[in-house]
Amino acid sequence: MSEILSFYLNGNPVEVLVKPEQTLLELLRDELGLTSPKCGCNHGDCGACTVILDGKAVKSCLVLAPTVKGKKVVTADGLCSGEKLHPIQQAFLDYGAPQCGYCTPGMVMAATAFLLENPKPTKEEIKEALSGNLCRCAGYEKYTEAVLAVSKGEFGLLPEGSDFNV
C-alpha cells in the first residue's frame, strides 16, 4: 500500500510514493535517484548509507522511509554550495582520505554531523565518532586527520544554517 510521503531533501521539499516496508536508503537510491548513500551491509554495521536526519547522523538503512514524514534529510549531494565543496569534502580530498571511495559519502555525513555537535573535538573523539563507519581500505588515519584539520579551521568556517535548518 504505497502512500505519498512529503519531507525535505537537501533543502527542497519533495513528495514521493513510498511503500510501508521501504527503508530510507531504498527511497533515496531507488525512488529519488540519489546514489551517494551506499548500500554496504543493509543492516546498520558499515555506515556507508549515513545521512543527516534532522541534524543528526543516522544510518539510512535502519530508518523506515515513512517515518521521515516532515523531516529534513541531507545527503552528501546537499553539502556543497554550487561548485564549492563543503570543508569536510575538501579536506577529505586534500588529505587523500578516500581510496576506493565507497565509504566516503557516509564518512562525510558522519563527520559533518559530528562537527555540528562538537566543533572542537580531540583526535580520540573523532575516532569514536567515525567508529560506526567502516573503511575497507583502512583509510581511518587520513579521515581522522582531515576532520581534525577542519575542526582547526584549516578549511574555512563550516557553513551554518543552510540545509540543516530548512
Partner 1 sequence: MRSYFYESPDSFGKLFEILEDNSIEMKFLAGGSDFVPRLSLEREKIHKENQKDSMIINLSDLGLNYIVENDTEVIIGATTTFAEIEKNDIIKGEFPALIKAINEIAGFSVRNIATIGGNIMNASPAADSVPVLMVLEAEFVLRGPDGSRNIEAKEFFTGPGKTVAKENEVLTHIIIRKNKGKSAFNKLGRRKAETLSVVNAAAYVEKENNICKAVRVAIGSVAPTVLRCEEVEELLLGKELTEENIRVASEKVVDAISPIDDIRASAWYRKKVAPVIVRRAIEAAIVD
47 versus 78: smaller Cβ distance to partner 1: 47
According to CB under 8 A, which residues from 49 to 68 bind partner 1? 50, 53, 56-59, 61-64, 66-67
Q: Which residues contact 134 (CB under 8 A, 6 or more apart)?
A: 40, 45, 46, 47, 48, 103
Count Cβ atoms within 10 A of the Cβ of residue 71 and give its class: 0-12 exposed, 13-18 middle, 19 or more buried: middle
The amino acid at 68: V
Identified binder of partner 1 from the candidate list 12, 13, 21, 35, rule CB under 8 A: 21
Question: Per-residue string for binding with partner 1, 71-110, x by CB under 8 A?
Answer: ---------------------------------------x
Question: Should residue 151 be labelled a site residue for partner 1 when binding is judged by CB under 8 A?
Answer: no
Identify whether the C-beta of residue 16 lies closer than 8 Å to the C-beta of residue 73: no
Report the distance separating Cα 79 and Cα 85, nearest Å.
Answer: 7
Which residues contact partner 1 by CB under 8 A?
1, 3, 19-21, 23, 42-45, 47, 50, 53, 56-59, 61-64, 66-67, 69, 110, 113-114, 128-129, 131-133
